[in-house]
Every structure is written in structure tokens, then in C-alpha cells.
């Protein structure tokens, strides 16, 4: 895990992020990060001494992210005990060529690997500190040299993660000891000048051309030091990007919080980061693998919001990537090979948010509809498209089957086969007469309805807030929610419906005890219901409500009775009732 210290995600509201990171012309003009903006997909690798421990210490398993096993909230391993693990670390089955081939077959365009995580152990041959894989382990080789070489042969970019602020084993580093082995007081200045700065010099000088340097958790590092690190990268690797987590707005792009996809488009260069299971570093018990479809949904949703995705794998103590991660990545790679235009050099969705059945990426006058949930009715509804359509075809079939379509109010109804063309995610190519113009108002799909987060609501006497929490140590969850409810508080959503009629309303919320919610439409129709609540966000049925005419409407939620202080509303679902 890469950002455990944050009390909230690094995600900022879209307007703030656009102001900070919206201008990427400097990056493009300098030709930095040639794989980042166009490739849109990267392999992230967390590998170190913690991979050998694998979340089991003194016979006990610790549940959470493996790279934080030293932490007091995990195994609380002492520095001396942890350093002694290096004597056992011998990843004899590490195969750089195999890992690079996996990344290439998975459709990834570059690899970023941990050169030094917060534990202070260098996975490269550092001449400034002997706590490294060459000098401190029986392995005695520099796997980063091999990996960099194989990436160049395969035409993939290569780069390093480096924990620049935290170092739990070097005196003076954030989270590390305050004195050295002789009892001399050490400061952060000592750590930075003796280890951090010279190691960044090493990784930017000794491994050929670098795609980017991925700094992490700047914490309270002085800005002058962060600036020095950026200057080192600029000097030694003028075509490399610097990650936003270097701090102080000095990076070339923004990194979101761990395991996070934004709800709306973000301008400029940014990346999302996720993991093939739950732990970034290898954990022996962690078998909660993401399926190929789950990985593709994260990737497509990230690209559709305008970003790049880093998907992590955690090799074990012998250097092997778990077979389950391989299988999922290879399957996603085969899908990407069928639909490369949907990912590579693709632009964000003009709707600026997901659609009820999936998401959209674009290239010029072409829309690529990536359908996560294929309709069983034979009709796919595309809301708000105002541009003229020239043709619609199914991508991936031998003849790119042409589909018929019709317009109904603000909707395009596409006649599709009853069976999904692709067992993972099907793709439709919509060719327009010009670049896309859309009304991106939320729209209730006539077949499956819609789920709308409170992020898209207007509130009165309360506010939308953002929070993150860990289900288990290091497994981040993110949500927008409305809290601070009073009798006069409301959350209101605007949306479009295609047909007048009866719709079922559900609310997703957390709280304590029974809560009474009232739902009101702009036409004056009202429903109320009492449901229970818990600290876990769950969806609860409120009931049926009528819309008397098609078109744009608003719907308002109000808390009527219950524990106002504990209530937290996260979304509304509106589903047509079919008779």
C-alpha cells in the first residue's frame, strides 16, 4: 500500500484538481512520459523483504497490506529483527523476462517497481547504504538491472517507486530511529543527505532511460528537499515524469488515492492506482483476486474519466508473480488486443461520468461504448447525444456488424443482439458526423434505471463530503456522502426519464437505528418509508413513486425522523417498474 498516512484520499474535487493539474502542455512540449499519456495502462510492482515475510510473523498471520508488516498496527517488528530477514531473502525464481512479457501480454506499456519502500530496504545495488538486495542477501544480484534491460528489449517503459520521506530503518528518516547505532542523534537532514538524495541519484543514473520516478508520502519533508529531488530527476532523466506525490505541487501529474476511480472527468495528466487482490506486497493468505472483468472495468472507467491506470502485482519471496494475478492480467490483455483503440491514446467520455450500463471513451468523431452490463431486452439506450450519428457497429466481430438505431426524445435507442458479443465487456463503435456534443444530465435508463451518488446532488442546510476508510489495514474505501442532517436539510438530483410512469426508489446510507426518509419529486409526488440502518453503507428500498410526464425532473431526499447526527446518505437509485 502506498498512502497509509492519509486520513483522506488524495482525490480533490474536480474543479480544484483541474486548477492544479489541468495544464499538461509543459509535459507534452518537453516530451516527458512518452508512455504515460497515450498508453494509459501500467504494471505497478511492490516487492521487497516484506514479500518474504508474506504477512506471517512468529507463527501469526497479520491481515492487511504486506509492505506495512513492520507497523505497530501490524506485527510491530523491530528494526534489528526486520533487517535480519535479509539473510533469508533469496528470490531465485525471479525472471525479469517473464515479468516483462506478462506486462506486455497484459497490454501494459510500462513498469514501475519499488526501488525502496518505507522499510528502507533497497531492491537495487546501492553503494551509499548496504541495506540492499545485493549486499545484504544471499541473492547477491541487482534484479532492477535485469528488469530495466528486458523492458528496453520489449519496447516497454521502465521506472521506479521511491519512498522519499518515510524510512523506518535509517536514522533520521520519517518513522525511523532518532539515533544511530552509536547513540548519536540523527535528524531528517542527515537521512536526506546521507541516503535519500544519493539513492535517487543512483536510480536515475544507473538504469538507462526512465519513464518516471514515483515518489510517495511526502509527509512533512521540507519543500526544499522535494525540490532537490525533482531537480535530480530533471538533470539525470530529462524525459522522465515525476509523480504528484513528491509533494508541494512539484510533480508533473496528479495521483489519486489508493484504489480510487473518480466520479467525474479530471482534466490534465493524472493516474489511478489499484491492485490485483487486496495487498500491494505479497500476503500468503490473500486470495481475493480481481477477475478480468473487474480489472477491465477499473481500467475503462479510469480512461473514460481521462486518466491512466497502474495495476499492481506483488511477487512472492522467491520472485514469482502469483498465478491468479497472471491469469486475470493475461485475459484482460487478450481483451485489449481485440479493442486497442478503446484504451490507447483514447480520450475521456463527453458525458463526464459513467452511464448506467457502462462507460465511454472517444477518438475524434468516434465513441466507444464499453458495455459492462449487456441489456437483455435487445435495446441499448444512449442518453443525451446531440450529434448526428453516421453509423453504429459492434467492434470485435469479423465484419463489424452494423446496428440499427432510432431517436426518442433525448435518447438514442440502439438495437443490439440479445446475447452479448463479448463474454467480458462488449464494445460498440458509434461514428458521428463531427466531434461529440452531449447533454450530460443524468438519465434513468429505460431498462435498468440509474444509481446516482450524492456527488451529483445539490444540497441545502447540509453538504456533500468526501471520506476514506480502511476495511482492513490498508484496504481503502472511498465515498461521497451527505451528513450533518437537520429537519431542514435536503439533497436534490436532476435527471431525465424517457417515459412517464412508476419508478422504484432506493437510498444507500449508513446510520444508527431506524430512519424515516421522505422522497419528493418536482411534480409534488411524495413517498415516505422507515428502514433500519447500520454503520455499513447499505441500500434500502423506499418505495414506488410516479412521474407524470417524460423529460427532465428533480427528486429530493429529506430525513424526517431518526438519529440525524449519525445519518450519512451516499446515493439514490431510480428503477422503472415494468408491468
User: Grid coordinates in use for 34?
Assistant: 512518452
Spatial separation of the C-alpha atoms in residues 75 and 63, rounded to whole Å? 10
The contacts of residue 111 (CB under 8 Å, 6+ apart) are: 42, 43, 45, 99, 100, 103, 147, 151, 156, 157, 158, 159
Listed in order, strand segments (DSSP E) in 364-511 are 366-371, 379-383, 389-395, 402-403, 405-408, 411-415, 426-432, 450-453, 458-460, 463-470, 476-483, 490-497, 501-510
Give the per-residue pLDDT at 22.
Answer: 44
Give the per-residue pLDDT at 8.
Answer: 33
Give the per-residue pLDDT at 30.
Answer: 56
Would you mind telling me the total number of residues written for the chain in this entry? 579
Give the per-residue pLDDT at 476.
Answer: 86
Lateral strand order in the sheet of 41-45:
241-242, 212-216, 157-163, 110-116, 41-45, 308-313, 270-275, 254-258
Confidence band for 4, pLDDT divided at 50, 70 and 90:
very low
pLDDT averaged over the chain? Answer: 94
pLDDT tens for 429-441 read: 999 999 999 999 9
Q: Are 572 and 505 in contact (CB under 8 A)?
A: yes
Q: Strands 60-61 and 411-415: what pairing?
A: unpaired
Spatial separation of the C-alpha atoms in residues 454 and 486, rounded to whole Å? 17
| Section 188-213 average pLDDT | 98
Assign 241 to helix, strand or coil.
strand
pLDDT > 80? residue 29: no
Confidence band for 550, pLDDT divided at 50, 70 and 90:
very high
Q: What is the DSSP string of 301-368?
A: HHHHTT-EEEEEE---TTSPPPHHHHHHHHHHHHHHHH-HHHHTTPBPPTTSS-BTTEEEEEETTEEE
Spatial separation of the C-alpha atoms in residues 371 and 218, rounded to whole Å? 39
pLDDT tens for 221-265 read: 999 999 999 999 999 999 999 999 999 999 999 999 999 999 999
DSSP conformational letter for 194: I
* Share of residues in the chain with pLDDT > 90 (%): 90
Greatest alpha-carbon span in the chain: 80
pLDDT tens for 136-170 read: 999 999 999 999 999 999 999 999 999 999 999 99
pLDDT tens for 359-407 read: 999 999 999 999 999 999 999 999 999 999 999 999 987 677 899 999 9
pLDDT > 50? residue 12: no
Give the per-residue pLDDT at 475.
Answer: 83
Give the per-residue pLDDT at 492.
Answer: 98
Spatial separation of the C-alpha atoms in residues 448 and 512, rounded to whole Å? 30
pLDDT > 70? residue 413: yes
Give the per-residue pLDDT at 37.
Answer: 82
| Section 472-495 average pLDDT | 94
The whole model's pTM is what?
0.94
Give the per-residue pLDDT at 38.
Answer: 85
Cβ-in-10-Å burial (0-12, 13-18, 19+) of 166 comes to buried
Closest listed residue to residue 373, CA positions, set 449, 479, 320, 459:
449
The contacts of residue 57 (CB under 8 Å, 6+ apart) are: 69, 75, 77
User: Grid coordinates in use for 194?
Assistant: 546521507
User: Grid coordinates in use for 533?
Assistant: 440502518
Give the per-residue pLDDT at 336.
Answer: 98
pLDDT > 60? residue 193: yes
Torsion sign, CA atoms 173, 179, 182, 184: positive
Closest listed residue to residue 549, CA positions, set 492, 479, 498, 500:
500
User: Grid coordinates in use for 62?
Assistant: 497479520
pLDDT tens for 32-83 read: 888 898 899 999 999 999 999 999 999 999 999 999 999 999 999 999 999 9
pLDDT > 50? residue 269: yes
Could you give phi then psi for residue 152, rounded to 5 degrees? -65, -40
Lowest mean pLDDT among 2-16, 46-60, 98-112, 461-475: 2-16
Torsion sign, CA atoms 444, 569, 298, 419: negative
Taking the mean position of all CA atoms in its chain, how far away is CA 143? 27
Residue 160 is inside which H or E element, if any? strand 157-163
Cβ-in-10-Å burial (0-12, 13-18, 19+) of 352 comes to middle
Amino acid at each position: 500500500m502506498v498512502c497509509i498516512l492519509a486520513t483522506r484520499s488524495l482525490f480533490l474535487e474536480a474543479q480544484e484538481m483541474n486548477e492544479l493539474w489541468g495544464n499538461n502542455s509543459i509535459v507534452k512540449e518537453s516530451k516527458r512520459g512518452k508512455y504515460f499519456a497515450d498508453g494509459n495502462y501500467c504494471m505497478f510492482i511492490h516487492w521487497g523483504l516484506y514479500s518474504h515475510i508474506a504477512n506471517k510473523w512468529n507463527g501469526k498471520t497479520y491481515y492487511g497490506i504486506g509492505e506495512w508488516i513492520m507497523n505497530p498496527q501490524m506485527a510491530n517488528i523491530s528494526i534489528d529483527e526486520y533487517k535480519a530477514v535479509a539473510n533469508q531473502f533469496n528470490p531465485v525464481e525471479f525472471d525479469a523476462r517473464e515479468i516483462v512479457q506478462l506486462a506486455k501480454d497484459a497490454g501494459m506499456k510500462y513498469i514501475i517497481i519499488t526501488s525502496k519502500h518505507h522499510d528502507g530496504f533497497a531492491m537495487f545495488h546501492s553503494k551509499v547504504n548496504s541495506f540492499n538486495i545485493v549486499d545484504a542477501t544471499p541473492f547477491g544480484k541487482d534484479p532492477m538491472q535485469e528488469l530495466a534491460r528486458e523492458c528496453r528489449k520489449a519496447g516497454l517503459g521502465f521506472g521506479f517507486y521511491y519512498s522519499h520521506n518515510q524510512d523506518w530503518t535509517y536514522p533520521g528518516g520519517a518513522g525511523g530511529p532518532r539515533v544511530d547505532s552509536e547513540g548519536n542523534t540523527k535528524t531528517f537532514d542527515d537521512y536526506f543527505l546521507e541516503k535519500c538524495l544519493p539513492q535517487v541519484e543512483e536510480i536515475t543514473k544507473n538504469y538507462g532511460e526512465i519513464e518516471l520516478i514515483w515518489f510517495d508520502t511526502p509527509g512533512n519533508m521540507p519543500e526544499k528537499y522535494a525540490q532537490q529531488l525533482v531537480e535530480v530527476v530533471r538533470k539525470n532523466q530529462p524525459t522522465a515524469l515525476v509523480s504528484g506525490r513528491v509533494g508541494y505541487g512539484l510533480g508533473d501529474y496528479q495521483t489519486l488515492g489508493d484504489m480510487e476511480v473518480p466520479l467525474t472527468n479530471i482534466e490534465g495528466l493524472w493516474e489511478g492506482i489499484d491492485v490485483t487482490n487486496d495487498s500491494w506486497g505479497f500476503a500468503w493468505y490473500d486470495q481475493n483476486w480481481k477477475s478480468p472483468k473487474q480489472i477491465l472495468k477499473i481500467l475503462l472507467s479510469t480512461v473514460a474519466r481521462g486518466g491512466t491506470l497502474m495495476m499492481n502485482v506483488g511477487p512472492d519471496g522467491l520472485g514469482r508473480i502469483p498465478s491468479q494475478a497472471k491469469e486475470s492480467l493475461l485475459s484482460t490483455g487478450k481483451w485489449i488486443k481485440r479493442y486497442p483503440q478503446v484504451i490507447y491514446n483514447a480520450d475521456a467520455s463527453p458525458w463526464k461520468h459513467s452511464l448506467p450500463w457502462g462507460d465511454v471513451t472517444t477518438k475524434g468523431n468516434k465513441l466507444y461504448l464499453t458495455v459492462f452490463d449487456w441489456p437483455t431486452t435487445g435495446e441499448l439506450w444512449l442518453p443525451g447525444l446531440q450529434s448526428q450519428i453516421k453509423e453504429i457497429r459492434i467492434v470485435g466481430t469479423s465484419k463489424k456488424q452494423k446496428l440499427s438505431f432510432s431517436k426518442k426524445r433525448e435518447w438514442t435507442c440502439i438495437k443490439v443482439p440479445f446475447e452479448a458479443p463479448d463474454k467480458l465487456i462488449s464494445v460498440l463503435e458509434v461514428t458521428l458526423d463531427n466531434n461529440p456534443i452531449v447533454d450530460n444530465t443524468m438519465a434513468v435508463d429505460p431498462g435498468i434505471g440509474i444509481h446516482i451518488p450524492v456527488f451529483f446532488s445539490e444540497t441545502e442546510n447540509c453538504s456533500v463530503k468526501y471520506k476514506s476508510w480502511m476495511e482492513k489495514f490498508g484496504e481503502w474505501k472511498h465515498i461521497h456522502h451527505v451528513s450533518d442532517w437537520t429537519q431542514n436539510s435536503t439533497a436534490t438530483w436532476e435527471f431525465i426519464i424517457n417515459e412517464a410512469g412508476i419508478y422504484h426508489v432506493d437510498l444507500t446510507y449508513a446510520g444508527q437505528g431506524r430512519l424515516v426518509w421522505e422522497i419528493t419529486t418536482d411534480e409534488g409526488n411524495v413517498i415516505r418509508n422507515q428502514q433500519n440502518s447500520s454503520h455499513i453503507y447499505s441500500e434500502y428500498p423506499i418505495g414506488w413513486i410516479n412521474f407524470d410526464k417524460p423529460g427532465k425532473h428533480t427528486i429530493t431526499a429529506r430525513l424526517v425522523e431518526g438519529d440525524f447526527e449519525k445519518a450519512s446518505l451516499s446515493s439514490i437509485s431510480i428503477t422503472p417498474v415494468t408491468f
